Each structure stands twice: as structure tokens, then as C-alpha cells.
């Protein structure tokens, strides 16, 4: 089976810093620790309202990291200019509403096709790997492909929030979307809301190549430290992948 990468989102280290307007804790230090703990990449969301990650954080992350940076960004001219200047390895296009607490749904690649097309084109021309953060839905996958994005990230938030049979149904939707997206030639990522308790069924989906995980890892770090929290997540992902390998024989 194809390897599964872990992208660690360090936004909420900056959330703690911004709660006091202090200089600490430093999300770049967290990113370097994550790198040492086995993260394959770092994800950071520069929000329009700068509620956690700042422009200076993005500049430092682009300069100081040895692993790929995935910049989560809204589809705005301001963010496009920042991305073209910072030149991260990847840019994940997310919807953004000021009043939301977190990214509440996927971007509408169908309805906003004409607005998104030039943005995706310009990022691609700058050799930034574009990923569309979408709901696990065929139409969204088709539209992302027709936009020319090489990658999609499937929103796992609804699956993570659900329980019982509903969670199983939503997992099946993720499986179907991953298989369909892969058949279109898209690279499949997933993320949002993943924890030690719910990560394994998603990590076992063979077409998924990367998971982006943040809030839970930073919360768990309070109790066990960031490196331990990341190492445990990595181990659960690897276990899910290897069980699937044995089952597939
Ligand atoms: N992927 C995307 C596109 C996101 O917007 C977020 C949240 O910023 C994540 C992954 C990580 O979600 P969480 O912090 O819930 O692990």
C-alpha cells in the first residue's frame, strides 16, 4: 500500500500565544519539534483575521523548515499574494468565514469554479501544489479536477463529529470519495477533527496519502508533550495501514 504522510497543523500553538498577545509559545518551535517527532510536513492556516498564525510565522516557517510547508488559505487576492511570495510547497484552499470557530465545511469547487480557476492556475504556475479542501462528494471531486488542482483534501469533520451507524455511513462516503478521486488521478488527503480514537479507519483507506491533524495533537501535548502526542498518532496511522495490508493478502 502507498505510504501515508502526517502533516502536523501548528495553528493552535499560536492560538495559545494570541490568547495573551505574548511572544510564546512559538509555533515555529513546535513545527521543528514535530519534524523531529516524525511529521512529514507542517500545515498552517493564515486566517484573514490573523487570529492565530501571523504573517511573520509564515515567513519563518518558509525559511526555517526542512520538511514541506502546506499553507492553508482562503481564495482571496491578499492570500494569493502572500502565497506567491512565501512559495510554500503546497497551498490548501479553504473556505473562510470570520464568525466561524474553525473551517466548517469544504470549499464549493462547483459553485465557485470561475472565481477559483485563476487562483489555482497562478499557484500552479508558481509550482505550489494546490489542494482543494472539499466535502467527500463526487461533484466536488469532478470540479476540483477540472480546476486543475493535483490534490484534494477530504473534510473529515462530519465523520469525526458523528457516532454509531451515522459515523459508519460517513466513513463509507469518505472511502467512496477517496476511490473515486484516485480514479480521476487526484492525490487524496484528508483531515479535520481527527483524534487517537477516530483516526484508524480513515488511515486505513488505501487511496489516502496524507492526513493533516492539529487541534487534537496540540491539546494532547498538554498532557504528554508534543513529540509523544505526534509519535502516538504516527503509530496509530501505521498500525491502521499494516492491518489493512495483512487483510488485503
Ligand atoms: N485540514 C484543513 C484543511 C483544516 O482547515 C484543518 C483545520 O485548520 C485541519 C486539516 C486540521 O484540523 P484539526 O485541527 O481539527 O486537526
Q: Using the predicted structure, report yes or no on whether residue 38 has a pLDDT greater than 80.
A: yes
| pLDDT interval class at 104 (50, 70, 90) | confident
Instruction: Provide the domain count of the chain.
Output: 1
Query: For residue 29, what is the domain's CATH number?
Result: 3.20.20.70
Q: Using the predicted structure, report yes or no on whether residue 136 has a pLDDT greater than 60.
A: yes
Ligand 1 in reach of 182 Cβ (< 6 A): no
Ligand 1 in reach of 51 Cβ (< 6 A): no
Measured from the Cα of 7, ligand 1's closest atom is 10
- Residue 200 neighbours by CB under 8 Å, 6+ apart: 236, 237, 239, 240
Per the structure, the complete domain to which residue 203 belongs is given by: 5-248
Residue written as cell 492556516? 45
Question: For 141-189, what is each residue's pLDDT tens digit?
Answer: 999 999 999 999 999 999 999 999 999 999 999 999 999 999 999 999 9
User: What does the mean pLDDT of the chain come to?
Assistant: 95
Question: For 41-90, what is each residue's pLDDT tens digit?
Answer: 999 999 999 999 999 999 999 999 999 999 999 999 999 999 999 999 99
pLDDT reported for residue 247: 55
Residue 249 Cα to ligand 1 midpoint, Å, equals 33
CB count, 10 Å around CB of 248? 8
Rounded mean pLDDT, 194-203:
98
CA distances from 86 to 6, 57, 69, 129, 190 (A): 22, 11, 10, 13, 24
CB of 212 closer than 8 Å to CB of 153: yes
Amino acid at each position: 500500500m502507498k505510504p501515508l504522510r502526517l502533516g502536523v497543523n501548528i495553528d493552535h500553538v499560536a492560538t495559545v500565544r494570541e490568547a495573551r498577545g505574548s511572544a510564546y509559545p512559538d509555533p515555529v518551535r513546535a513545527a521543528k519539534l514535530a519534524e523531529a517527532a516524525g511529521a512529514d510536513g507542517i500545515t498552517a492556516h493564515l486566517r484573514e483575521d490573523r487570529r492565530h498564525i501571523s504573517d511573520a510565522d509564515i515567513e519563518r516557517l518558509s525559511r526555517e523548515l526542512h520538511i514541506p510547508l502546506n499553507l492553508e488559505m482562503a481564495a482571496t487576492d491578499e492570500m494569493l499574494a502572500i502565497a506567491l511570495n512565501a512559495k510554500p510547497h503546497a497551498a490548501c484552499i479553504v473556505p473562510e468565514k470570520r464568525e466561524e470557530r474553525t473551517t466548517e465545511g469544504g470549499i464549493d469547487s462547483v459553485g465557485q469554479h470561475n472565481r477559483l480557476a485563476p487562483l489555482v492556475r497562478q499557484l500552479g504556475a508558481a509550482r505550489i501544489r494546490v489542494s482543494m479542501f472539499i466535502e467527500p462528494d463526487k461533484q466536488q471531486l469532478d470540479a476540483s479536477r477540472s480546476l486543475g488542482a493535483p490534490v484534494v483534501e477530504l473534510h473529515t469533520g462530519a465523520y469525526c463529529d458523528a457516532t454509531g451507524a451515522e459515523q459508519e455511513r460517513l466513513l463509507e462516503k469518505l472511502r467512496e470519495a477517496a476511490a473515486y478521486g484516485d480514479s480521476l488521478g487526484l492525490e487524496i488527503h484528508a483531515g479535520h477533527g481527527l483524534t487517537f480514537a477516530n483516526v484508524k479507519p480513515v488511515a486505513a483507506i488505501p487511496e489516502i496519502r496524507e492526513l493533516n491533524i492539529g487541534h487534537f495533537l496540540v491539546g494532547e501535548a498538554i498532557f504528554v508533550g508534543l513529540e509523544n502526542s505526534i509519535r502516538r498518532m504516527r503509530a496509530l496511522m501505521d498500525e491502521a495501514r499494516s492491518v489493512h495490508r495483512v487483510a488485503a493478502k
